[in-house]
Amino acid sequence: MAEKDLQSTVISILRFPLIAGVVLAHSRYMDGSDGGMAIVGGERLPIYTYLSFYLSDILARIPSRLFFFISGFLFFRTGEFSRSVYLQKLKRRIKTLLIPYVFWNAAVMAIYAAAQAALPGAIGGKAICDFSPRDFLCAFWDMSMVNPGAPSFPICYQLWFVRDLMVMAVLSPLIYWLVKRGGVYFIAIMVGMQMSQLFPTLSGLVLSDLIYFAGGAYFSIHGKDFTAVMKPTVPVAATLYAVFSIVELALLGEGALGSVLHLINIITGIFLVVGVTARMAEKGRWRQAESLSSSSFFVYASHGVVLAAIIELGVRLLHPHTELSAIAVYLLAPTATICICIVCYKILKRVMPRFTAIVTGERVKY
């Protein structure tokens, strides 16, 4: 298989599994309630606590960063960059990123407003009906500007990735110049800054996002094949990931060492995932499931509200006061969420194909 073909194949194969990983990352619940009582706690349910932390906070943190890597690679794939190329790419991302971003945030806002009206107190924070014009605008960017103390995510929280990716696209001329001139040294400097936490965290501009986006950009800008680089590292990456992820698990990600290990685990995890996928793709053991891959963005954009509702339902039905029931809710919720979102996508695509294409950033077929 040609190098370019293998890179494209790896990206296509990973698209849906990575989205499934994103859903799993959002499935961990620690402070749920059942009749006002705490149902999950580290001391009471240690097996659930460590299992869910390993799967959601260690393993499933790889997908979003790998998506940044892939996005950086694809953004600069031609290896050339100019004013006309820049403007063309920004124009295209209005359709593929901005329009879906606005739609899904508006949709979640409408769902929250309806839920708050029907079930007062069901959703915490400031009521949508009490939003000022400024609050409405901030909800599309950073909910901590509306509800102090809330995470710095838009109201459709999983779309923080799209928000940050749009910022990367706007800053792409600077990123191109730095990666072109600095190469791996520029990326190494950013990794060092991330480990030392010298770079301030800004809403929409996070250093860790830039590291992976620039990492993908490096391979395109310098004409290197990332599968050829990562395939030989699989044994070493697997060993390092096995060791360091267990240490991070033991620490539950706490402290400065936990943060450093988390960064190391994501980087080695990317090498491991890409390397293993490339090896399997070359041997024909792993092929892209087109029907699942096409639903990836819809599952990603819609899963937040669905997942929250299913976890709430699971808590009320199973009353997870035991290890088994807590793990059952934890694993069944993302599985059910993904299945429901895929079914909804297929129905919408059949009934309203143009609408579905627009809200998922696909090319509209006339």
Angle at CA of residue 155, ends 149 and 160, nearest 5°:
90
What is the model's pLDDT at position 43?
52
Per residue in 233-292, pLDDT (tens digit) is 999 999 999 999 999 999 988 888 888 999 999 999 999 999 999 999 888 777 666 678
Three-state SS string over 250-301 comes to HHCCCHHHHHHHHHHHHHHHHHHHHHHHHHHHHCCCCCCCHHHHCCHHHHHH
Among residues 209, 283, 275, 279, the alpha carbon closest in space to that of 237 is found at 275
Cα 31 to Cα 15: distance, rounded to the nearest angstrom: 31
Average pLDDT, the chain: 88
The model's confidence at residue 3, banded by pLDDT at 50, 70 and 90, is low
What is the pLDDT averaged over residues 94-116? Answer: 93
Q: Which residue has the higher pLDDT, 253 or 175?
A: 175
Per residue in 12-43, pLDDT (tens digit) is 999 999 999 999 999 988 654 444 334 555 45
Q: Which ranges constitute the DSSP H helices of 76-200?
A: 83-93, 99-118, 133-139, 160-170, 172-196
Cα 64 to Cα 54: distance, rounded to the nearest angstrom: 16
| Cut 0.85: pTM above it | yes
Q: By percentage, how much of the chain surpasses pLDDT 90?
A: 64
What is the model's pLDDT at position 129?
85
Cα 139 to Cα 153: distance, rounded to the nearest angstrom: 8
What is the model's pLDDT at position 30?
65
Among residues 71, 29, 81, the alpha carbon closest in space to that of 52 is found at 29
What is the model's pLDDT at position 35?
40
- Count CA atoms within 13 Å of residue 139 on its CB side: 25
What is the pLDDT averaged over residues 179-188? Answer: 93
What is the pLDDT averaged over residues 136-151? Answer: 90
What is the model's pLDDT at position 289?
66
